[in-house]
């Protein structure tokens, strides 16, 4: 996955492109580059490494020109290097392209172009795109882009400039995100909204196979057969500041602190005392709900962990069988799906390749799909039958935090919505669950007010080589997420186990000084968890437990305890995950890791 930007206006393009790229570095950061048209010539500056390397290079070789494109890369085809960095030019240097996605048939296209005399300089799949456009160019860049695109298989969001038509930028997308920003006599393209927010809040959300032709006179949207496309302007309501760090040292910390608000926003107008759960974008009728005999929840990473909570909660409140699956497994294992299957897809970005493929597979086989996503206009939101947006706002840190808690909230909302339609809970019970749910933002704030204890814990354990997480029921689901958070940003080896599995193998790993983080919030399982804690402390482990206020048995068994405000057991994950996020954060800081951009990872995995 990569980030692309483009600019057409009256100002110098290069600083605007760099500023836009700085907001997209979360999409990839192994190399970056810009291309700007200077009169009848395209100049490219690009290099391996973070954006600051590019800025240094540009300070020595400034680029002049008012039309340009930029790119921040996360390598797929071809290692991170100066040559493989985008933009890529065509052989004669008249066409320059930035690309996010994968050209699946690039080897065939490359061979074909080579047979026509084209020479390639990079190892990337992308380089075939400018070469193809040059091949098809007969005086009309739009026509040439359309013809080139018709030869490409795979996913792409691309920006194209041509020195023979110096005032123009052409962009198109398929299966990779792309927006067009509409300023005053200046226009932008970008992979994501934060890149343009300092300049405009009015944007077009491009659909697959729509082309944007941008000049200083405006933006024309075309279909593949060159018919003009009319589209509503989407007005972004969140502020440019929302996409910045807002006074915190890292995006991750800012996003952890945004959780109370994100939880509240996600419930707004959906969960109200005395009123039925209302979901505008879920059109399922009572009859259709009655017809469902099985639910699949499919997702990747943190979103998958939210799905595990979903299984426990929906089965408990709605009494329907729920299977949770990792999207990359689901899509290839010939799952049993029919018209009576409901699939709930969870994806913060709405662009995760495996999740999107799983959605398509389910739809192909007749399932109804609800998408839980954070990104309006994302691929998942466009392809699903019903949508439930998580109103977390932009999540920039690679480690997902506020998206996770809002995914949990979305799951509770769906469970209540179904329970209401299927009468699996009395209206009094639903009211009491809603009441407790509405108190979660305040309780989450309370957990955030207790950071010092967690910081002290991080000081004590950050040098450990392995840290284990244990839990039963919903605490096991949270343990999985706590463990993922820790490993992805601190690089400490970590595993999460279901407490009952301990004796079936994992206990062999426990020795003097092993750190175990144990969840003990679920009332019917606390005694069992206390036994698990004793089993590991007896063998020398140091145990940090999290539980609700007043659970003295846990305090007696564990070495350290983090108390959470009391809530219903089903809501424990919302509060319990916060200390685990903070612990991972503080450990990562102590170890000097790059919290927001952990090595080898990208924010959204838009390729397999
Ligand atoms: O955008 P998605 O929710 O589909 O992303 C899924 C995972 O890639 C994501 O949750 C990943 O595991 C996070 N980096 C975890 O913090």
CATH number, position 536: 3.40.50.10490
Q: What is the pLDDT of residue 246?
A: 67
pLDDT of residue 242: 65
Q: Does residue 519 lie within any of the structural domains? A: yes
Same domain, 145 and 276: no
Ligand 1, pocket residues at CB < 6 Å: 300-303, 347-349, 352, 355, 398-400, 484, 488, 604-605
Mutate to test the pocket of ligand 1, among 250, 301, 379, 411 (most ligand atoms within 8 A of CB): 301
The one catalytic residue in 57, 542, 597, 603 is 603
Residue of the CA atom closest to atom 9 of ligand 1? 301
Cα–Cα dist 514/461, whole Å: 10
The atom of ligand 1 lying closest to the CA of 301 is: 12
Dist. CA 352 → ligand 1 center (Å): 8
| Per-residue confidence (pLDDT) for residue 280, from 0 to 100 | 83
Distance CA 93, CA 83 (A): 15
Q: Please give the number of the atom of ligand 1 that sits closest to the Cα of 605.
A: 8
Question: Probe ligand 1: pick from 324, 348, 351, max atoms within 8 Å of CB?
Answer: 348
Residues 53 and 201 in one domain: yes
Residue among 396, 361, 449 at smallest CA distance from 597: 396
CA–centroid distance, residue 509 to ligand 1 (Å): 28
Same domain, 495 and 507: yes
**CA 190 / ligand 1 centre spacing (Å):** 21
d(C-alpha 484, C-alpha 167), whole Å: 47
Q: Are residues 429 and 523 in the same domain?
A: no
Which atom of ligand 1 lies closest to the CA of 300?
A: 6
Q: Is the residue at 116 inside a domain?
A: yes
Ligand 1 centre to CA of 305 (Å) is: 10
- Per the CB < 8 A criterion, the answer to whether 48 and 78 are in contact is no
Average pLDDT for 102-123:
95
Given 431, 447, 463, the domain boundary residue is: 447
Ligand 1 mean position to 354 CA, how many Å? Answer: 11
Where do runs of H (alpha helix) occur along 268-378?
286-291, 301-318, 327-330, 353-364
How many angstroms from the chain centroid is the CA of residue 281?
21
Q: Is 261 a catalytic residue?
A: no
- Looking at the structure, do residues 511 and 545 belong to the same domain, yes or no? yes
Q: How many angstroms from the chain centroid is the CA of residue 336? A: 27
Mean pLDDT of 422-434: 97
Q: Is the pLDDT of residue 115 over 70?
A: yes
Q: Is 370 contained in some domain?
A: yes
Percent with pLDDT over 70 in the chain: 99
Q: Rg (Cα) of the chain, in Å, rounded?
A: 25
Give the Å distance between the CA of 606 and the centre of ligand 1. Answer: 11
Tell whether the model's pLDDT for residue 243 goes beyond 80.
no
Q: Annotated catalytic residue: which of 2, 162, 300, 593?
A: 2
Pocket test for ligand 1, best of 1, 28, 252, 302 (most atoms within 8 A of CB): 302
Give the residue-averaged pLDDT of 216-235.
95
Question: Distance between CA atoms of 515 and 512, rounded to whole angstroms?
Answer: 9
Task: Tell me the average pLDDT across 110-124.
Answer: 97
**Lowest-pLDDT choice from 74-83, 127-136, 226-235:** 74-83
Q: Which domain holds residue 391?
A: 251-447
Residues 190 and 271 in one domain: no
Q: What is the pLDDT of residues 228-242, one digit of tens each?
A: 999 999 999 877 666
Residues 18 and 146 in one domain: yes
Please identify, by atom number, the ligand 1 atom nearest to the C-alpha of residue 404.
Answer: 10
Encoding tokens for residue 207?
Answer: 């659909």
Q: Which of 72-81, 136-145, 482-491, 584-593 has the lowest mean pLDDT?
A: 72-81
> To test ligand 1's pocket by mutation, which of 300, 309, 345, 375 has the most ligand atoms within 8 angstroms of CB?
300
Gap from CA of 171 to ligand 1 centroid (Å): 27
Domain-located, residue 382: yes
pLDDT at 459 over 70: yes
Mutate to test the pocket of ligand 1, among 352, 408, 487, 608 (most ligand atoms within 8 A of CB): 352
Q: Is 237 exposed, middle or buried, given 0-12, 13-18 or 19+ CB atoms closer than 10 A?
A: exposed
Residues 499 and 439 in one domain: no
Burial class of residue 38, CB neighbours in 10 A (0-12, 13-18, 19+): middle
Quick one: pLDDT band at residue 96, thresholds 50, 70, 90? Answer: very high
Is position 608 within any domain? no
Angstrom distances, CA of residue 565 to CA of 17, 39, 76, 443, 574: 46, 64, 45, 6, 11
Q: How far is the CA of 344 from the centre of ligand 1 (A)?
A: 16
What average pLDDT does the structure give for the chain? 94
Say yes or no: 340 and 232 in one domain: no
Catalytic status, residue 2: yes
Same structural domain, 366 and 510: no
Q: Which atom of ligand 1 is nearest to the CA of 352?
A: 4
Q: Within a domain: residue 405?
A: yes
Domain end position, chosen among 447, 468, 484 = 447
Average pLDDT of the segment spanning 125-144 = 98
- Smallest CA separation from ligand 1 atom 11, residue: 301
How do residues 277-300 score in pLDDT, each as one tens digit? 989 889 999 899 999 999 999 999
Instruction: Classify residue 598: in a domain, yes or no.
Output: no
Q: Does residue 568 fall inside a structural domain?
A: yes
> What distance in angstroms lies between residue 603's CA and the mean position of ligand 1's atoms?
7
Q: What tokens appear for 94 in the block?
A: 């008249």
What per-residue confidence (pLDDT) applies to 36?
Answer: 98
Q: What is the pLDDT of residues 1-49, one digit of tens each?
A: 689 999 999 999 999 999 999 998 877 778 999 999 999 999 999 999 9
Are 501 and 408 members of one domain?
Answer: no
Mean pLDDT over residues 335-346, rounded? 95
429 or 75, greater pLDDT:
429
State the total domains in the chain.
3
Same domain? 185 vs 147: yes
Q: Which of 447, 472, 501 is the last residue of a domain?
A: 447
Q: What is the pLDDT of residue 603?
A: 85
Q: Reply yes or no on whether the pLDDT at 121 is more than 70.
A: yes
Atom from ligand 1 closest to the CA of residue 485: 16
């Amino acid at each position: 996955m990569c980030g692309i930007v483009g600019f057409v206006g009256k100002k110098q393009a290069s600083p605007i492109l760099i500023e836009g790229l700085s907001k997209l570095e979360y999409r990839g950061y192994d190399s970056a580059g810009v291309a700007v048209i200077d009169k009848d010539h395209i100049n490219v500056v690009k290099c391996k490494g973070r954006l600051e390397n590019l800025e240094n290079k540009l300070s020595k070789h400034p680029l002049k020109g008012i039309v340009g494109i930029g790119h921040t890369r996360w390598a797929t085809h071809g290692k991170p290097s100066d040559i493989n960095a985008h933009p890529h030019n065509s052989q004669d240097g008249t066409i320059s392209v930035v690309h996010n996605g994968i050209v699946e048939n690039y080897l065939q296209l490359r061979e074909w172009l080579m047979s026509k005399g084209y020479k390639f300089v990079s190892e990337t799949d992308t380089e075939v795109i400018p070469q193809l456009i040059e091949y098809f160019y007969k005086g009309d860049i739009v026509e040439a882009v359309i013809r080139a695109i018709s030869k490409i298989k795979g996913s792409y969001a691309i920006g194209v400039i041509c020195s023979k038509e110096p005032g123009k930028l052409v962009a198109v997308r398929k299966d990779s995100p792309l927006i067009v920003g509409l300023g005053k006599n200046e226009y932008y393209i970008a992979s994501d909204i934060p890149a343009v927010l300092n300049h405009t809040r009015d944007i077009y959300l491009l659909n697959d196979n729509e082309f944007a032709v941008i000049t200083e006179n405006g933006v024309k949207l075309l279909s593949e057969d060159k018919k003009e496309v009319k589209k509503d302007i989407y007005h972004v309501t969140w502020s440019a500041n929302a996409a910045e760090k807002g006074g915190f040292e890292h995006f991750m910390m800012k996003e952890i602190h945004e959780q109370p608000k994100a939880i509240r926003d996600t419930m707004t107008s959906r969960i109200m005392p005395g009123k039925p759960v209302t979901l505008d974008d879920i059109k399922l009728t009572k009859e259709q709900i009655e017809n469902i005999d099985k639910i699949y929840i499919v997702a990747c990473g943190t979103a998958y962990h939210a799905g595990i909570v979903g299984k426990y909660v929906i089965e408990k409140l709605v009494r329907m069988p729920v299977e949770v699956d990792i999207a990359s497994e689901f899509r290839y294992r010939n799952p049993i799906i029919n018209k009576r299957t409901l699939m709930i897809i969870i994806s913060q970005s709405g662009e995760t390749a495996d999740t999107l493929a799983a959605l398509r597979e389910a739809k192909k086989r007749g399932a109804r799909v609800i998408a839980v996503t954070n990104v309006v206009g994302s691929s998942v939101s466009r392809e699903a039958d019903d949508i439930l947006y998580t109103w977390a706002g932009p999540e920039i840190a690679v480690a997902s935090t506020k998206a996770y808690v809002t995914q949990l909230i979305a799951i509770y909302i769906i469970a209540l919505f179904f329970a209401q339609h299927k009468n699996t809970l009395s209206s009094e019970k639903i009211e009491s669950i809603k009441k407790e749910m509405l108190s979660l933002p305040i309780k989450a704030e309370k957990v955030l007010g207790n950071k010092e204890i967690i910081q002290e814990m991080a000081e004590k354990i950050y040098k450990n080589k392995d840290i284990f997480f244990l839990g039963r029921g919903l605490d096991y689901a949270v343990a999985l997420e706590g463990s993922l958070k820790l490993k992805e940003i601190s690089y400490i080896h970590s595993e999460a186990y279901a407490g009952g599995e301990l004796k079936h193998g994992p206990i062999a790993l426990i020795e003097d000084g092993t750190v175990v983080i144990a969840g003990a919030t679920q009332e019917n399982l606390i005694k069992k968890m206390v036994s698990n804690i004793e089993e590991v402390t007896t063998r020398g482990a140091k145990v940090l437990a999290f539980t609700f206020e007043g659970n003295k048995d846990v305090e007696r068994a564990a070495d350290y305890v983090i108390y959470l405000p009391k809530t219903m057991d089903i809501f424990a994950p919302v509060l319990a995950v916060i200390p685990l996020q903070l612990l991972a954060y503080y450990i990562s800081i102590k170890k000097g890791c790059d919290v927001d951009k952990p090595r080898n990872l990208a924010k959204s995995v838009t390729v397999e």
